[in-house]
Amino acid sequence: MTPLRLGVPVKLMGAPDIKSNDTRRWQANPHLKVSLEYVDQALDYLDRHDIRMYRMSSDLAPYATHPDMPQFHGMVAESDAELRAIGDKAKRLGIRLSFHPSQFVVLNSPDPELVRKSIWDLSSQAEMLDRMGLGPEAVLVIHVGGTYGDRPSSNARWVETWNNLLPEHVKRRLVLEHDDLRFSVSDILWIHERTGVRLIFDHQHFWCLNPEKLGLRDALERVLRSWPEGVRPKVHFSSPRTEMREVKRKDRATGKTKLVPVAPVWTGHADFCQPFEFITFMRLAEGLEFDVMLESKVKDLALIRLRPDLLRYAPDVALRFGLEPSEQPALEAEEDAVLEEEEVAA
């Protein structure tokens, strides 16, 4: 069996000089070609650290779908050769690529103009993956959207958009994730049954929102079965933030703003991945195949820390990710080196 992959999203904390995309304002004529130069550097970094899955920035093609800036609308087609080169490199290195479009992409909105704009964004990002020549594992991950005061109707509108409005090349790439506040695993399973859209299981979201009281293993299996045979699913994993937070609040007596300590919000993501929670999840998922996108706050640093933790505390789980006990000293040294570089950069 091919080892399961661990991946990270967007910003590489261990390589702060590598930007995730061209962030210049429109006056400076930013371009997808510049963003792809950063992706090329990111792939080299990921390869050096044996990280085989990466979520690219949803802003990779700046202003490409801005309705008032037609000068940027052709940049995806203009970057065909560069996109193909990035796709070839990712395939050669065995790095799985994906997008997670922003929260402003909403397919179940009652506003047809917002839906139209959302489809335009998805179409642009799907086109980039197509021009990269990537297989069906390269996906666009989105959430259901807003409830608008009527969750069943909002689910039904998502289905209607899929069936009547989405272009075929978007359908081939799109996958749907449940969230931590509005739409549960049961909601996306309902949508899958009516559309065939592939689904994403998110471990932290599952614990934050599961009103139907589904069992974790059962929910995970049902979500994974939404993927066709021969295409490996992926899941999202993060640990909840547990430390006290400081927020700014106005003092009623003085009118001045001050920092106030408050308890954590369990939907918040921790900086690192709690290894015992991850190990428990992976053992519960024994026998199931899926790649894991870590959504920890410090991204690649969390992944680099997790691998020696797995070897130390759960060699059986480490083996599923292709990690051997003999790698323990090297992985610990890598962790020390990367964290030390990050401290210097800070």
Do 197 and 167 fall within a single domain? yes
Give 337's contacts (C-beta < 8 A, 6+ positions apart): none
More confident residue, 59 or 340: 59
* Dist. CA 221–CA 136, nearest whole Å: 20
Do 156 and 253 fall within a single domain? no
* Dist. CA 97–CA 88, nearest whole Å: 12
Tally of structural domains, the chain: 2
Partners of 202 in the β-ladder: 236
Q: Are 6 and 306 a contacting pair, CB within 8 Å?
A: yes
Do 71 and 213 fall within a single domain? yes
Q: Give the model's confidence band at 244: pLDDT under 50 very low, under 70 low, under 90 confident, else very high.
A: confident
Average pLDDT over residues 105-126: 96
- Evaluate whether residue 250 is within a structural domain: yes
pLDDT at res. 245: 83
Do 262 and 187 fall within a single domain? no
pLDDT at res. 342: 59
Do 213 and 264 fall within a single domain? no
Tell me if residue 109 falls in helix, strand or coil. Answer: coil
User: Which residues span the domain enclosing 253?
Assistant: 245-269
Structure tokens at 85: 């080169």
pTM of the model as a whole: 0.92
pLDDT at res. 175: 98
Average pLDDT over residues 89-114: 95
Do 206 and 259 fall within a single domain? no
Do 93 and 136 fall within a single domain? yes
Which helix (H) or strand (E) covers residue 55, if one does? strand 53-56
Do 122 and 252 fall within a single domain? no
- CATH, residue 19: 3.20.20.150
What are the CA-CA distances from residue 260 to residues 43, 168, 249, 299 (Å)?
Answer: 41, 50, 7, 27
* Dist. CA 102–CA 58, nearest whole Å: 7
The residue ranges of DSSP E strands in 207-254, in sequence order, are 234-237, 245-250
At 190-229, the pLDDT tens digits run 999 999 999 999 999 999 999 999 999 999 999 999 999 9
- Evaluate whether residue 275 is within a structural domain: yes
More confident residue, 245 or 272: 272
Do 255 and 136 fall within a single domain? no
Residue type, 162: W
| pLDDT > 90: percent of the chain | 83
Do 12 and 106 fall within a single domain? yes
- Evaluate whether residue 334 is within a structural domain: no
Calculate ∠ Cα 258-180-119, nearest 5°. Answer: 105
* Maximum average pLDDT range among 238-247, 255-264, 280-289, 337-346: 280-289
* Dist. CA 85–CA 264, nearest whole Å: 44
* Dist. CA 300–CA 52, nearest whole Å: 11
Which helix (H) or strand (E) covers residue 165, if one does? none
Do 102 and 182 fall within a single domain? yes
- Check residue 322 and give left, alpha or beta (phi > 0: left; psi -120 to 50: alpha): left
